[in-house]
Amino acid sequence: MQLSSWFQAMPLTLTVAGLLYLPGIMIVLAAGRRKCNEVLALAPVSAVALAGVDGIVLYPMHIRWNWASYLASAIVLAALCGLARTWMAKRGTKDKSGNRAQSRSAFAIQKPESDDKGFLRSACKSLPAASGIILAAGTIAGRLIEAVPSPEQVTQNYDSVFHENIVARIAMTGQASSLHALPPVRDVYPIAFQQFAALGNEIFSQTSTSSSVTCTWLIFAALVWPISMLYMVRSLVGPLPATDFLAPALSAATAGFPFLLLDWGTLYSMFASQVLLPVFLGLVWRYCRGSMRGERESWTRLAWMAVSVLAISVCHFRVMMTALLLAFPEILVWFIGTCSRLRQHNRAAFRATAAGFVAAIAAVAIAGVAIFRKMYLSGASRPIADHLNGGPAQPTESIGSATLRYFLGQPINSSNQRLPVFWPIAIALIAAVAIIVIEHKPQGLTLLSSFLLLGFVFVSCAGSHADWAKVVTALWYKDQRRLFAAWPIAGIALISWAISAATRWLRLRNSLAVPQGGRGLERAGTVGARSQRRTAVTVAAVTLIGLLSCLVNPQMRAMQSAVSRTYAFADNYADSPMLSSDEYLLLKRLDRHVGPSEEVVSDPWNGSGFMLAVGHRTPYYAHLSSMWDYDHEYLARHFDRVDSDPQVCRILKNNDLKWYVDMGGPYVKNDPQHQVFEGLRPVLGAMHPVDRQGRAMLYRITACGL
């Protein structure tokens, strides 16, 4: 039995992509959206939101969540959107002349922009964006395939056991509620990403859960992420060829993302939310700036904004904290501008709005201070000092060093080693900051404020362990990587805005260089030739930057190496990292001996925690740590007395436990959380071997009359 190849996983990958995009596209089109970039950006947002809600709703109804129920829900939702759009269109009000006006509802169809020069010109306009997306997708897929020879390999870390077992549980039981994620280990946990991996695992039942997870990650990283970035940048600067190409291209090669959270964690759920975050920010910027311009359809973006908030939340609600952090400057400027206009037109409404806003802020502040004081400041001691002290929360450098690293876009890997600075992007960011400061326009300064606000919280994580830093960063578990994952969003937004500003300046300069009248015709030709040369140079420079960033990037090469180490199997007969190839292959064929309803006793710290994900058989200990009940804890501490302890025999018989897997020692030595499992070891004479792969052994328990 060998591991599958990427070529063998291609049908699975395409199926997951279809399940993510096709139902979402159907819903978005039914809701009246027509622009290609908007449809492709909103489709996964709609699909993820639907899947998350669908799993929660079907659980108490005892209906199995699978591909059939998911597609049925998508069809019903699309039909409801179509009916609502039709009803709202018919409900359009009449103008003064008696003619029926077009509805401005959230479901109104967007008419495609007319183009007199036809399809060819439209295709040329889309070429930069399509090229950037293809380059990004190819770069991400190529680096992942090079780093991970087989999609069956697992990320060898603590969190992966939890995530992959959730996927296996959804595929086996059809229970996909975020309120009952993986009992008894954890109930409430957002699992929308895992739901799509489970769909692929259900359809291709012969493939391993790890293949489904890796292929689903690839779709989110190589397709959803660059398209989301393109949508966000177009929301900022409009369809500009340079930014249409660079935004998706740079998204595959900036600050270690999208591989950063694959190496660290592994944080699949947070990664999926981070991938959808640019769509939310694009909708926020479109709504705020559209409403300030008095656009009648601005509130339609508010409806889609709510959908994007739901999608992000069912992937991982903590990412909404990052979303609010980045959106706060824009929302504040919008609120001040709205209040200013309201004050001019209706002072009474302005006073009521201002009073309500101040009261709401005061109530939230008072409640927050009270809760914080009760939790952390009561008594003579300072309990906050006893919180947020784990490995991810520890500072890695001084405040000055963290600040410099933030401005250079320099990530660290899971071993806290700095990756190389990619100077083209670092210089581009510094130049962008200078251009925005010189231009001094509110929109650019708002983006810069978002970048600096994110930087402040990041530096507080990475550069200090003081109490104030814990207060500032508690919503992100004081984990600098969760914040640094948003660097590409804020950084590429700044670079794109600077490119837009430079483009506007060049156009203005060209227009001023052409004198009026007949004498200016010759000068106009000269200016036009210079403009064409500048355009050619710009296209060449943008293409070169994009290609260098994706193909010749030492930072991403180092990130790829870190991912390769995270996925690498342990040497056979070694305890660390979790799984060796021998152990993986033994788990994969457990179904030859262990029945589907039987559970297996094992020490989850030796890699057998992946049993449900790899072998589709249920381990008695579903995770590396939990609030174990009496039977679980007693058996873990005293299993080595199976041939003499009647209490151990009682637990084995009551739970019908007949199988034991031995895969060596724990992957982390002397960890306090592992102490409860010290009694889990083979007992000669109390069991006999049934299957073996290297040192990995499957035993049938014969003691206690089993």
Angle ∠(570,556,491) on CA atoms, nearest 5 = 130
Q: Report the alpha-carbon distance of residue 223 to residue 267 in Å, rounded.
A: 18
Kindly state the DSSP code that residue 695 receives in the 8-state scheme.
T
Which of 444-448's residues contact partners 24+ apart within 8 Å by CB, and which partners? 444/497, 444/498, 444/501, 446/329, 446/330, 446/333, 447/236, 447/329, 447/490, 447/493, 447/494, 447/497, 448/494
Mapped to the 3 state alphabet, what secondary structure does 458-488 carry?
A: HHHHHHCCCHHHHHHHHHHCCCHHHHHCCHH
CB 575 within 8 Å of CB 696: no
Classify residue 640 as exposed, middle or buried by CB count within 10 Å of its CB (0-12, 13-18, 19+). Answer: middle
Q: Do both 601 and 455 map to the same domain? A: no
Instruction: From 443, 467, 491, give the residue that closes a domain.
Output: 491
Return the pLDDT at 186: 83
Q: Report the alpha-carbon distance of residue 262 to residue 283 in Å, rounded.
A: 27
- What pTM did the predictor assign? 0.90
Q: Report the alpha-carbon distance of residue 484 to residue 400 in Å, rounded.
A: 16
Return the pLDDT at 422: 94
Q: Do both 302 and 427 map to the same domain? A: yes
Angle ∠(241,244,247) on CA atoms, nearest 5 = 140
- Edge-to-edge strands of the sheet including 659-662? 618-619, 599-602, 659-662, 696-701, 687-693
Return the pLDDT at 110: 47
Could you tell me the two tokens for 458? 């990041």
Polymer length of the chain? 706
CB 630 within 8 Å of CB 650: no
Q: Do both 486 and 588 map to the same domain? A: no
- Asked if residue 558 belongs to a domain, the reply is no
CB 154 within 8 Å of CB 210: yes
Q: Do both 617 and 473 map to the same domain? A: no
Return the pLDDT at 514: 53
- Asked if residue 559 belongs to a domain, the reply is no
Q: Do both 468 and 601 map to the same domain? A: no
Which pairing describes strands 659-662 and 687-693: parallel, antiparallel, or unpaired?
unpaired
- C-alpha distances in angstroms, 609 versus 465, 574, 579? 33, 16, 10
Return the pLDDT at 376: 61
Q: Do both 465 and 586 map to the same domain? A: no
Q: How many domains, the chain?
A: 2
Helices (H), 516-575: 520-551, 554-567
Q: Residue 526: how many CA atoms within 13 Å on its side-chain side?
A: 8
The number of beta carbons lying within 10 Å of the beta carbon of residue 332 is 13
Strands of 169-241 (E only): list them. Answer: none
Q: Report the alpha-carbon distance of residue 169 to residue 192 in Å, rounded.
A: 14
- Asked if residue 507 belongs to a domain, the reply is no
- C-alpha distances in angstroms, 616 versus 173, 461, 663? 11, 39, 17
Q: Residue 486: how many CA atoms within 13 Å on its side-chain side?
A: 32
Mean pLDDT, consecutive 10-residue segments, the chain of 706 residues? 85 96 95 89 96 94 93 94 82 49 43 49 79 95 94 89 92 92 86 95 89 96 96 92 93 93 89 96 89 69 91 93 93 86 80 83 81 62 72 91 95 92 94 92 92 95 89 88 94 94 79 57 56 71 87 94 92 88 92 91 92 90 87 92 91 93 90 90 91 93 86
Q: Do both 473 and 599 map to the same domain? A: no
Which amino acid type is present at position 259? F
- Asked if residue 556 belongs to a domain, the reply is no
Instruction: From 465, 491, 517, give the residue that closes a domain.
Output: 491
Could you tell me the two tokens for 352? 């009521």
- CA 603 to mean position of chain CA atoms: 31
Classify residue 70 as exposed, middle or buried by CB count within 10 Å of its CB (0-12, 13-18, 19+). Answer: buried
Q: Do both 591 and 487 map to the same domain? A: no
Instruction: From 445, 470, 491, give the residue that closes a domain.
Output: 491
Q: Do both 479 and 589 map to the same domain? A: no
- Asked if residue 408 belongs to a domain, the reply is yes
- Asked if residue 70 belongs to a domain, the reply is yes
CB 140 within 8 Å of CB 219: no
Q: Do both 172 and 47 map to the same domain? A: yes
- Asked if residue 529 belongs to a domain, the reply is no
Angle ∠(77,83,85) on CA atoms, nearest 5 = 100
Strand partners, 257: 254
Angle ∠(484,487,488) on CA atoms, nearest 5 = 135
Which amino acid type is present at position 189? Y
Q: Do both 482 and 600 map to the same domain? A: no
Domain of 135 in residue numbering reads as 6-88+126-491
Q: Do both 588 and 476 map to the same domain? A: no
CB 316 within 8 Å of CB 269: yes
Which of 112-115's residues contact partners 24+ apart within 8 Å by CB, and which partners? 112/34, 112/35
- Asked if residue 275 belongs to a domain, the reply is yes
Return the pLDDT at 111: 47
Return the pLDDT at 573: 86
The number of beta carbons lying within 10 Å of the beta carbon of residue 252 is 31
